[in-house]
Structure 1
Amino acid sequence: MTTTPSSGVPAVEDSGLWDSPPDERFDRITRVAQELFDVDLALVNVVGADDIYTKGQPDGARFGFSSVAEVFCGDTVQQDDILEIEDARAIERYASRGAVTHYGMRFYAGIPLRNDRGDAVATLCLLDGDSRHLDAAEREALYRLGQWAQAEVRQAQPGAEAGGAASAAPRGDCLVGDELRLAALAIPHGLISGDRSGWQQFGGRVVVTLADVMGKGEEAGRLADELLAALQSRRDSAPLDAVRSVEDEARATGRYRDTFATLFHAVIDTTTGIVDFVDAGHGLTLLLRADGTTERLRSHNLPLGLRPRELAWEAGQVEVARGDLIVSVSDRALDAYDSTLDSLRLIGEDLRRSADPDDFFRDLSVRVSTQPVDDDVTAVVVSIH
């Protein structure tokens, strides 16, 4: 019988991350990091006294526990800033560690992730089999990703910004001509939600937005309202132009200095079936085609408020047809299943099996009420008629 090692660090025990189940919120960050930096591995590691627990990694496989002596993250949590090792094989202190001798890693860059009290409990790190060096723009990008991961670490802490039990689920439903049906579900965890969704029609175009501002409470709710209104007010703009404009305005006012927002923002042309979209760190939108195939609508963009100026935005485009469905959910909807990215697939399957969005929302609401979901849940469904 295998015994799970103790972290041996009170702050780590209090974080709720040690030996915790897989969680898409962390896997999503490591996927973005791996693709953005083109490295072999990107990990979120929780650092104990003698062992390290890998909480997040991009491919869904699990390293589980490693010895602090065999990796580099134990050194990272002692730093105030990024620890960069350009070639571990060339440094006597690191050359004999298992990450080098067993896994063949030469390059490492890690940033400490701290709880609300400032204790370093985890790291976001990059590893690669080739030696390399981070330039100034890459260091800034890693710092921004670290902010994202650190916010998730703080959200994961038991009792952090506690709200209350999930409340009744407000729903919205709208038929746009004969072409589209839009429906939404919102289940706030507390009195005020940081999730927002909305849509509007103008001519033959429909603007659809789902945004999730990090945090709970009045400030998150106010920022979510402002963000949704700002994006929806730019209805005449392409999604990429709208998001760029909102970002420029936010930079000028310092609006997202202490927080950030993930979002999915799309414009659907009902005459051509073309959907132009921008995904900013969201990655939880599916196109369920009538032929039974599924496509995930995502990009490599960081959340709004975390993108370095030098990093270009990436836009996406798909074409939809009669019988297709688009579903976009906030990350806590995954907690109603198993919290991994596979939950998104299960959400898609449940929607396909449902007679209509109302049935899907009813089943999702039951799941949320019976599972340990401790944040807002929002879902938007677009049915192509």
Structure 2
Amino acid sequence: MHPETATTVPVTSAPDAVRRAALLAALDVVEGGAEERFDRITRIAREALGVSGSFLNLAGDTSLTIKSQQSDAHFGPVIPLQDTFCGRTMGERGPVLVPDARIDARYSDMPMVVGDPNVRFYAGVPLRLGDDDVKVGTLCLIDPEPRTLDADELALLQELGVWAERELAAGADEDRLRSVLAGLEPGTVDVPGYRIAGLSVPHGVVSGDFHDWHRSGDDAVHLTVADVMGKGMSAGLLAANIRGALLARGDVAPDVAVAELEAQVAPDLSRAESFATLFHGRLTPSTGRIDFTDAGHGLVLQLRDDRAERILRSSDLPIGLHPAGIERASGSLVMRPGDVVIVVSDGALELWDSTLASLSQLGALYRESPDVATFLQRVRSRAVDHDPGDDLTVVVVARDL
């Protein structure tokens, strides 16, 4: 593709400006500050092409955000789009090459040309996103001395532009993935006399944990917390498979549901050289009884109304490791009014000392909190201050009456 050399200045249409501003807002990258994934690109551009400055710019409707810059002189980070090289070249079809801005009618009157930093050379490639290839910014170079780029150098700048587009697109994919995952979060369930809530904080974009609760036809509440070994996409896919298998058995007793689930998903876990711990219970609201099967999970804390606490351990192996043909142990507990049951993934232990004593610390945090929502917010805040380095899930069942 040849660089533009016309002396007219195309004007970006208002609809295009609105579209790119909306797309950038959806990407959620403008306000995030510097990111190494973009700084890596501008560093290479400056060093490989021997210029005084390289920039990755994102154009809104009226302003330009400098997302990454490698330059002795610092700019921005937000400047008016008008009277910038990038703003004036957003309407060009391809890369723009300006050997000497002083003698180019498109740019000779610009403040950064006639004054500090006295830009002479400019080269930029547009960055496009979305199905309609909307131009959302530029990857560009500046220098105070007139110069040009040969064919190989221009090709390198374009390749770096493609890299930048892919990094931006990866952000868009993550946003879509987060939206999908948010849709998988259990909705609010109304159980008179009880409060049921939870949170899940992935270590990355995708979590290998999942939690769920739902009412069955006989008004029982089925509760699940699972933790697939590992993190990231592979663990998330396996967790989604387990979640789907359990939802297909929504009204089945926990021991039967887990046995059928294991028969279905254990081969997938084995092929992936993974396993999953799982707590799956059925609450009868009228009695407070929870019948459950615990497949190697063992991270259940019961806080009693008399301030006593009990940790329920598991004697079974995780799904994918449990010997075939051997029945799993089933258990039960009874919640009295004022009791609370907290089920977590092992990421919760990393919020303190990585031992089971962390469950007592979690229980103390709950007792210090005025309500469930505050407790969960405090857990989330602690995860920010004490990165667990793992996916984190916490589910609370509190009986009031």
Distance 2:371 2:270 in 1: 37
Larger radius of gyration between Structure 1 and Structure 2: 2
Matches within 5 A, 1:1-385: 174-202=188-216, 203-251=218-266, 253-257=267-271, 258-385=273-400
Flag the 1:343–1:173 CA change in 2: closer, same or farther, 3 A.
Answer: farther
Query: 2:223, 2:282 within 8 Å by CA — same for their partners in 1?
Result: yes
Query: 1:214, 1:259 within 8 Å by CA — same for their partners in 2?
Result: yes
Query: 1:172, 1:183 within 8 Å by CA — same for their partners in 2?
Result: no
Query: What is the SS of the residue equivalent to 1:309?
Result: coil
Query: What is the SS of the residue equivalent to 1:307?
Result: coil
Query: 1:214, 1:261 within 8 Å by CA — same for their partners in 2?
Result: yes
Structure 1 unaligned segments of length 5 or more: list them. Answer: 1-166
Amino acid of the structure 2 residue aligned with 1:376: D
Deviation of 1:359 after TM superposition, in Å, equals: 1.1
Amino acid of the structure 1 residue aligned with 2:270: Y
What TM-score results when the alignment is normalised by the length of structure 1? 0.53
Deviation of 1:331 after TM superposition, in Å, equals: 0.5
Distance 1:249 1:186 in 2: 25
Listed one character per residue, the Cα deviations across residues 75-104 of structure 1 (whole Å, up to 9, x for unaligned) are: xxxxxxxxxxxxxxxxxxxxxxxxxxxxxx
Flag the 1:173–1:292 CA change in 2: closer, same or farther, 3 A.
Answer: farther
Flag the 1:173–1:359 CA change in 2: closer, same or farther, 3 A.
Answer: farther
Aligned twin of 2:113: none
Deviation of 1:187 after TM superposition, in Å, equals: 0.8
Deviation of 1:172 after TM superposition, in Å, equals: 6.2
Query: What is the SS of the residue equivalent to 2:188?
Result: strand
Flag the 1:369–1:383 CA change in 2: closer, same or farther, 3 A.
Answer: same
Higher relative contact order (Cα pairs below 8 Å, separated by 6+ residues)? 1
Distance 2:269 2:201 in 1: 26
Deviation of 1:229 after TM superposition, in Å, equals: 2.2
Aligned twin of 1:65: none
Deviation of 1:354 after TM superposition, in Å, equals: 1.1
Amino acid of the structure 1 residue aligned with 2:310: E
Deviation of 1:255 after TM superposition, in Å, equals: 4.0
Distance 1:249 1:240 in 2: 14
Query: 2:186, 2:212 within 8 Å by CA — same for their partners in 1?
Result: no
Distance 2:212 2:219 in 1: 17
Flag the 1:249–1:173 CA change in 2: closer, same or farther, 3 A.
Answer: closer
Distance 2:258 2:243 in 1: 11
Deviation of 1:175 after TM superposition, in Å, equals: 4.3
Query: 1:299, 1:315 within 8 Å by CA — same for their partners in 2?
Result: no
Flag the 1:310–1:230 CA change in 2: closer, same or farther, 3 A.
Answer: closer
Listed one character per residue, the Cα deviations across residues 274-297 of structure 1 (whole Å, up to 9, x for unaligned) are: 110111111111111112121222
Query: What is the SS of the residue equivalent to 2:286?
Result: coil
Query: What is the SS of the residue equivalent to 1:241?
Result: helix
Flag the 1:272–1:196 CA change in 2: closer, same or farther, 3 A.
Answer: same
Query: What is the SS of the residue equivalent to 1:178?
Result: coil
Query: 2:269, 2:275 within 8 Å by CA — same for their partners in 1?
Result: no
Distance 1:299 1:373 in 2: 23
Distance 1:373 1:177 in 2: 32
Query: 2:351, 2:382 within 8 Å by CA — same for their partners in 1?
Result: yes
Query: 1:200, 1:232 within 8 Å by CA — same for their partners in 2?
Result: no
Aligned twin of 2:85: none
Amino acid of the structure 2 residue aligned with 1:318: L
Amino acid of the structure 1 residue aligned with 2:397: V
Query: 1:206, 1:268 within 8 Å by CA — same for their partners in 2?
Result: yes
C-alpha RMSD of the superposition = 2.3
Query: 1:173, 1:184 within 8 Å by CA — same for their partners in 2?
Result: no
Amino acid of the structure 2 residue aligned with 1:180: Y
Amino acid of the structure 2 residue aligned with 1:301: D
Query: 2:301, 2:312 within 8 Å by CA — same for their partners in 1?
Result: yes
Query: What is the SS of the residue equivalent to 2:313?
Result: coil
Aligned twin of 1:134: none
Query: What is the SS of the residue equivalent to 2:256?
Result: helix
Flag the 1:298–1:233 CA change in 2: closer, same or farther, 3 A.
Answer: farther
Amino acid of the structure 2 residue aligned with 1:292: R
Give the share of equivalent positions with the same residue, in percent.
40
Distance 2:344 2:223 in 1: 13
Query: What is the SS of the residue equivalent to 1:189?
Result: coil
Aligned twin of 2:24: none
Distance 2:191 2:357 in 1: 34
Structure 2 unaligned segments of length 5 or more: list them. Answer: 1-177
Deviation of 1:298 after TM superposition, in Å, equals: 2.6
